[in-house]
């Protein structure tokens, strides 16, 4: 084994020294009664929780050091396909921290939160307009949560008509959450193959639909970055069978102001505000996954939604007897909704259309420039993202995983790899609209260099990364002998 070039970063627990404090709590200005006199001793903790004891400088240096071992959009280009890693505007962060948004309670009297209610009401309407839907719930906390909510709405709709429809159809290029959400909503999943052009295979769809079809879930543009040109026909096939169409909005950044799921024939839509509407991913969350529906599904929406009285006052509308119930405590991820609203107000509808135009132009440009070096999975027009295959490099003993790891040395976050599942050795690249031509060109040059390295010095690629704080990690042992915390040995 080699010498360790850098020492391990300490855990906060390893910095602990009894006697140090990093807090300043209010003084006790009420009687200092012992806990055991206020709460029966058998309910009290027998031994204290062994949390670290550090001072404030330790806290700041520890987390600052951790942040330096992390990579965000502000550090560099992040072309992670289907994740829409666009710039997270700073004004959104500032406004979400206004005390009038951050320091308000969900159960305050309605008259004391009229500003928040107005914001939510406007956002509901703006998302409805953008997606071509009739009403929107802002409750779901994430995309997958929105999918599940939407499927529960579809279930309630069919049940209200006395129909038992048990199957949800998804294409093989769909995100894994689609079938998982279908299962959690009590449906059976039917996966249908894509055709040679990467589109939904209409014959396979026709063969799959029937009296038991509850819905087709579709991402359009698909995870291959392709627009389903026969979407109207697809919608007709599903509708004629009595099913509904669910739109996974993961890829909405390609179509804002250009076309709308509602006009394509979709009945239910979720948007990922942490993708399309620029709210930060936060290292994995929080996000927000509002769901829009056509009028026939409005009665089933989770309660409450925000409504407006004739006198202009806003209120929580709980009077929804056919509602599927709640899907999230309180009203959704309000702090994220504030950021998304600020984003929409920054651009307005014409600005959002320009966002999509530039996202699509950037993607097509990159695809054309990279085509001589990496196989384009589905040549032609792409939308906001495209899929390459790295299978040509396999003859040099270099896998797509190696290409991704080598990109780390060039200072980039790699694209999504090995997804979608139907393209061998794939890389899915989504540049977004907030990247400049210079950034795209530099990344393209890095990709070209790596393709050349793969032929000439493949070991450099295979052993990458070379510049990161840790090298490739042993994931097999991590899963076989899990060490999941440092406190229970």
Partner 1 sequence: MKHRYIPMTGQDEAEMLAVIGADTIEALFADIPAAIRYEGVLPMSGPLDEPALLRHMRLLAGRNANFDEYVSFLGAGIYDHHIPVVINHVISRSEFYTAYTPYQPEISQGELQAIFEFQSYICELTGMKVANASMYDGATALAEAAALAGGYTKRSRIVVSSAIHPEAKEIVRTSARGLNLDIVEVAANNGLTDLEALESALTDDTAAVLIQSPNFFGAIEDARAIEPVIHGRGGLLVMSVNPLSLALLEAPGELGADIVVGDAQPLGIPASLGGPTCGFFAVTDALMRRIPGRIVGQTVDKEGRRGFVLTLQAREQHIRREKATSNICSNQALLALCASVYMSTLGKTGMQEAALLNVRKAHYAADKIASLRDPHTAAPVFELPFQAPFFNEFVVKLPQALDAAKLNAKLLRKGFIGGYDLALADPSLSGHMLIAVTERRTKDEIDRFVHELEECCR
Scan residues 409-448 and list those touching partner 1 (CB under 8 A): 413-414, 419, 433-437
SS3 per-residue string spanning 142-163: CHHHHHHHHHHHHHHHHHHCCC
Per rule CB under 8 A, count of chain residues that contact partner 1: 209
380 near partner 1 (CB under 8 A) = yes
Residue 69: which of 486, 479, 467, 477 has the closest Cα? Answer: 467
264 binds partner 1 (CB under 8 A): yes
In the bound state with partner 1, the residue whose beta carbon lies nearer, of 118 and 212, is 118
Site membership for partner 1, residue 312 (CB under 8 A)? no
Residue range at the interface with partner 1 (CB under 8 A); choices 111-119, 207-215, 238-246, 305-313: 111-119
Site for partner 1 contains 405 (CB under 8 A): yes
Burial, 131: exposed, middle or buried (Cβ in 10 Å; 0-12, 13-18, 19+)? buried
The only residue of 161, 210, 349, 424 in contact with partner 1, by rule CB under 8 A: 349
Please check whether residue 215 is in contact with residue 222, taking contact to mean a CB–CB distance below 8 angstroms: no
Is residue 336 near partner 1 by the rule CB under 8 A? yes
The pair phi, psi for residue 356, each rounded to 5°, is: -65, -40
- Per rule CB under 8 A, is residue 179 in the interface with partner 1? yes
Site for partner 1 contains 316 (CB under 8 A): no
Between 161 and 330, name the residue whose CB sits nearer to partner 1.
330
Instruction: Indicate the angle between helix axes 177-184 and 143-160, nearest 10 degrees.
Output: 40
CA dist 271 and 292 (Å) reads 8
Residue in 133, 147, 298, 403 binding partner 1, rule: CB under 8 A: 147
Among 133, 192, 231, 426, binds partner 1 (CB under 8 A): 231
The span of 207-215, 241-249, 339-347, 386-394 binding partner 1 (CB under 8 A) equals 339-347
Q: Side by side, which strands form the sheet with 135-137? A: 135-137, 291-293, 268-271, 244-249, 213-218, 167-171, 188-192
163, 203, 317, 348: residue in contact with partner 1 (rule CB under 8 A): 348
Q: Does 294 participate in binding partner 1 (rule CB under 8 A)?
A: no
Rounded least distance, CB 441 to partner 1, Å: 10
Instruction: Based on the shown chain and the rule CB under 8 A, indicate whether residue 309 belongs to the binding site for partner 1.
Output: no
Strands 188-192 and 213-218: unpaired
Q: Is 142 in the site for partner 1 (CB under 8 A)?
A: yes
Structure tokens at 114: 């009229």
Whole-number minimum distance, CB 390 to partner 1, in Å? 16
Nearer to partner 1, 282 or 397 (CB): 282
Contact between 2 and partner 1 by CB under 8 A: the answer reads yes
Burial of 67 (0-12, 13-18, 19+ CB in 10 A): exposed
Q: Give CA–CA dist 262/129, Å, rounded.
A: 9
310 binds partner 1 (CB under 8 A): no
How far is 214 from 243, CA to CA, in rounded Å? Answer: 5
385 binds partner 1 (CB under 8 A): no
For the bound state, the minimum distance from the C-beta of residue 22 to partner 1, rounded and expressed in Å, comes to 5
Q: What is the DSSP secondary structure assignment for residue 10, as one 8-state letter?
A: P
Contact 229, 257 (CB under 8 A): no
What is the per-residue binding string for partner 1 in 42-81, x denoting contact by CB under 8 A?
xxxxx-xxxxxxx-x--xx-xxxxxxxxxxxxxx--x-x-
Cα separation, 219 vs 247, in Å, equals: 6
H or E element: which one contains 240? helix 231-240
Q: Does 196 interact with partner 1 (rule: CB under 8 A)?
A: no
Query: What is the nearest approach in angstroms of partner 1 to the Cβ of residue 237?
Result: 16
Q: Which is nearer to partner 1, 144 or 451 (CB)?
A: 144
Smallest gap from Cβ 97 to partner 1, in A, equals 7
Should residue 450 be labelled a site residue for partner 1 when binding is judged by CB under 8 A?
A: no
Which residue in 361, 376, 446, 448 binds partner 1 (CB under 8 A)? 361
The CB-of-241 to partner 1 minimum distance in angstroms stands at: 21
Q: Is 376 helix (H, G, I), strand (E, B) or coil?
A: strand
Burial of 422 (0-12, 13-18, 19+ CB in 10 A): middle
Residue 206 and residue 431: Cα distance in Å, rounded?
A: 35
């Amino acid at each position: 084994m080699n010498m360790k070039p850098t020492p391990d970063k300490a855990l906060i627990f390893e910095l602990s020294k009894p006697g140090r404090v990093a807090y300043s709590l209010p003084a006790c200005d009420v009687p200092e009664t012992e806990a055991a006199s206020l709460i029966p001793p058998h309910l009290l903790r027998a031994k204290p929780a062994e949390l670290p004891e550090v001072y404030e400088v330790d806290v700041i240096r520890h987390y600052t050091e951790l942040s330096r071992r992390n990579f965000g959009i502000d550090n560099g280009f992040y072309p992670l396909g289907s994740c829409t890693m666009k710039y997270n505007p700073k004004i959104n962060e500032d406004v979400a921290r206004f005390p009038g948004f951050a320091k308000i309670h969900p159960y305050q009297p309605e008259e004391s939160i009229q500003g928040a209610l107005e914001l939510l009401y406007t956002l509901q309407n703006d998302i409805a307009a953008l997606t071509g839907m009739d009403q929107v719930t802002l409750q779901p906390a994430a995309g997958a949560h929105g999918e599940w909510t939407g499927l529960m709405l579809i279930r309630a709709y069919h049940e209200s008509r006395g129909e038992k429809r048990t199957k949800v159809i998804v294409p093989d290029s769909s995100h894994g959450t689609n079938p998982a959400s279908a299962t959690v909503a009590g449906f059976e999943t039917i996966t249908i193959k894509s055709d040679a052009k990467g589109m939904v295979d209409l014959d396979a769809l026709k063969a799959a639909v029937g009296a038991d079809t509850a819905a087709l879930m579709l991402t359009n543009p698909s995870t291959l970055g392709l627009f389903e040109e026969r979407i109207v026909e697809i919608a007709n096939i599903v509708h004629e069978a009595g099913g509904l169409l669910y739109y996974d909005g993961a890829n909405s950044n390609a179509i804002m102001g250009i076309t709308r799921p509602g006009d394509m024939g979709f009945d239910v839509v979720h948007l990922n505000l942490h993708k399309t509407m620029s709210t930060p991913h936060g290292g994995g969350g929080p996000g927000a996954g509002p769901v829009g529906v056509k009028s026939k599904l409005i009665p089933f929406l989770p309660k409450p939604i925000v409504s407006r009285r004739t006198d202009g006052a806003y209120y929580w509308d709980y009077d929804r007897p056919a509602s599927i119930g709640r899907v999230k405590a309180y009203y959704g991820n309000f702090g994220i909704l504030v950021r998304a609203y600020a984003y929409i107000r920054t651009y307005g509808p014409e600005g959002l259309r320009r966002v999509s135009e530039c996202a699509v132009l950037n993607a097509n440009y990159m695809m054309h420039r990279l085509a001589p070096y990496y196989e384009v999975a589905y040549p032609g027009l792409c939308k906001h993202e495209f899929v390459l295959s790295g299978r040509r490099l396999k003859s040099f003993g270099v896998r797509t995983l190696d290409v991704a790891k080598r990109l780390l040395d060039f200072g980039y976050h790699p694209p999504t790899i090995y997804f979608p599942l139907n393209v061998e050795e794939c890389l899915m690249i989504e540049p977004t609209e907030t990247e400049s031509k210079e950034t795209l060109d530099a990344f393209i040059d890095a990709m070209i260099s790596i393709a050349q390295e793969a032929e000439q010095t493949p070991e450099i690629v295979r052993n990458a990364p070379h510049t990161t704080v840790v090298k490739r990690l042993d994931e097999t042992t991590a899963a076989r002998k899990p060490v999941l915390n440092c406190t229970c040995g």
